[in-house]
């Protein structure tokens, strides 16, 4: 098994992410995904709308920017490209071309992908992992899965997808740890400014403490 540069396989698939000790967000009883931005009108994608879209399976490894990789995951859902072609393209005014897509989760988390990366054939709007509906640890009810990009692009608990015609402002753009706008794992695009190889050793030392904190996050809050 070959992993992208600077990645190490870990056992299982911990709930990693930036939320650490936060429990997963509350999900509404009838969760929908709002599609908005540069569309002629917004669209609300309900669970039954999603169920009508063609589905596929995707076997892939999952790579966190901190250097761990979970291997051999089997996702199911609809490709982002299918959603885009069937539901979004009909809502574009003539001449409008989408360049960036913002994915937002019920916990307020956001990620941005450039159009070309989101349209790759391994990008799923996924609702199942290893034959089961997504658990709250891994993004229930629906998450983005883009295994060729670092975990931070893979927004969990999707509630909104926004279509943009230019790069949306990045509040962290001046941070030394600003995210890489492409975040492609095979090119080791971890951060915008720092080369991947420079941050690798720091991250590797953080993996086990992060793993401990993340495990705490998956526990139900008391009461
Ligand atoms: N909604 C939401 N999605 C998120 C995050 C988050 O904090 N909230 N963290 C991201 C990061 S940094 C990673 S590495 C992956 C981790 O996915 P996992 O928790 O299923 O292991 O989720 C990503 N998607
Ligand atoms: Mo991450």
Residue 221 has pLDDT above 60, yes or no: no
Single out the residue of 87, 76, 80, 77 nearest to residue 35, CA to CA: 87
Give dist(CA 219, CA 223) in Å, integer: 12
Residues 137-164, mean pLDDT to the nearest whole number: 97
Q: Is the CB of 162 under 6 A from ligand 1?
A: no
Residue 17 has pLDDT above 90, yes or no: no
Residues 143-162, mean pLDDT to the nearest whole number: 97
Do the Cβ atoms of 148 and 186 come closer than 8 Å? Answer: yes
**Residue indicated by tokens 């931005």:** 37
Give the pLDDT of residue 172.
85
Angle at 197 between CA 191 and CA 201, to 5 degrees: 100
Give the pLDDT of residue 215.
62
CATH number for the domain formed by residue range(s) 1-9+34-167: 3.90.420.10
Q: Which ligand is nearest to the CA of 16?
A: 1
Identify the H or E element spanning 132. Answer: strand 132-133
Q: Which tokens belong to 139?
A: 């993004």
pLDDT category at 197 given cuts 50, 70, 90 is confident
What is the atom index within ligand 1 of the atom nearest the CA of 18?
7
Give the pLDDT of residue 222.
37
Give dist(CA 78, CA 144) in Å, integer: 10
Residues 30-57, mean pLDDT to the nearest whole number: 98
Give dist(CA 137, CA 155) in Å, integer: 12
Give dist(CA 119, CA 122) in Å, integer: 8
Q: Which ligand is nearest to the CA of 110?
A: 1
Domain assignments of the chain as residue spans, ordered by start: 1-9+34-167
What is the atom index within ligand 1 of the atom nearest the CA of 106?
1
Q: Is the CB of 155 under 6 A from ligand 1?
A: yes
Q: Which ligand is nearest to the CA of 109?
A: 1
pLDDT category at 203 given cuts 50, 70, 90 is confident
Q: Is the CB of 16 under 6 A from ligand 1?
A: yes
What is the atom index within ligand 1 of the atom nearest the CA of 158?
1
DSSP count for the chain of H helices, then E strands: 4, 11
Give the pLDDT of residue 40.
98
Which residue(s) pair with 9 in the sheet? 69
Residues 28-36, mean pLDDT to the nearest whole number: 96
Burial 24-43 (b: 16+ CB within 10 A, else e): bbeeeeebbbebbbbbeeeb
Give the pLDDT of residue 53.
98
> Percent of the chain at pLDDT above 90?
73
Give the pLDDT of residue 58.
98
Residues 166-193, mean pLDDT to the nearest whole number: 91
To test ligand 1's pocket by mutation, which of 14, 16, 104 has the most ligand atoms within 8 angstroms of CB? Answer: 16
What is the pLDDT of the chain when averaged over all its residues?
91
Is the C-alpha dihedral spanning 26, 208, 6, 174 positive or negative?
positive
Burial 141-179 (b: 16+ CB within 10 A, else e): bbbbbbbbbbbbbbbbbbbbbbbbeeeeeeeeeeeeeeb
Q: Where are the alpha helices (DSSP H) in the chain?
A: 47-51, 80-83, 115-118, 196-218
Do the Cβ atoms of 98 and 164 come closer than 8 Å? Answer: yes
Give the pLDDT of residue 64.
92
pTM, whole model, 2 decimals? 0.93
To test ligand 1's pocket by mutation, which of 10, 13, 17 has the most ligand atoms within 8 angstroms of CB? Answer: 17
Ranking 84-88, 146-150, 155-159, 188-192 by mean pLDDT, the lowest is: 188-192
Residue 219 has pLDDT above 70, yes or no: no
Q: Is the CB of 146 under 6 A from ligand 1?
A: no
């Amino acid at each position: 098994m070959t992993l992208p540069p600077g990645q190490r396989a870990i056992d299982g698939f911990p709930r990693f992410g930036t939320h650490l000790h936060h429990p997963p967000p509350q999900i509404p009883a009838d969760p929908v995904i709002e599609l908005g931005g540069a569309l002629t009108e917004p669209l609300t994608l309900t669970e039954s709308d999603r169920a009508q879209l063609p589905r596929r399976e995707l076997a892939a490894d999952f790579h966190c920017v901190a250097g761990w990789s979970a291997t051999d995951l089997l996702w199911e859902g609809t490709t982002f490209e299918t959603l885009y072609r069937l539901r979004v393209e009909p809502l574009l005014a003539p001449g409008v071309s989408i360049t960036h897509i913002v994915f937002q989760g019920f916990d307020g988390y956001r990620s941005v992908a450039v159009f070309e990366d989101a349209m790759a054939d391994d990008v799923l709007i996924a609702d199942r992992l290893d034959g089961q509906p997504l658990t709250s640890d891994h993004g229930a009810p629906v998450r983005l899965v883009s295994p060729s990009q670092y975990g931070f692009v893979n927004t969990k608990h999707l509630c909104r997808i926004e279509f943009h015609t230019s790069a949306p402002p990045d509040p962290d753009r001046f941070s030394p740890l600003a995210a890489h706008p492409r975040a492609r794992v095979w090119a080791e695009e971890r951060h915008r400014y720092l080369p991947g190889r420079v941050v690798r050793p720091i991250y590797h030392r953080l993996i086990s403490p992060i793993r401990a904190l993340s495990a705490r996050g998956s526990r139900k809050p008391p009461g």
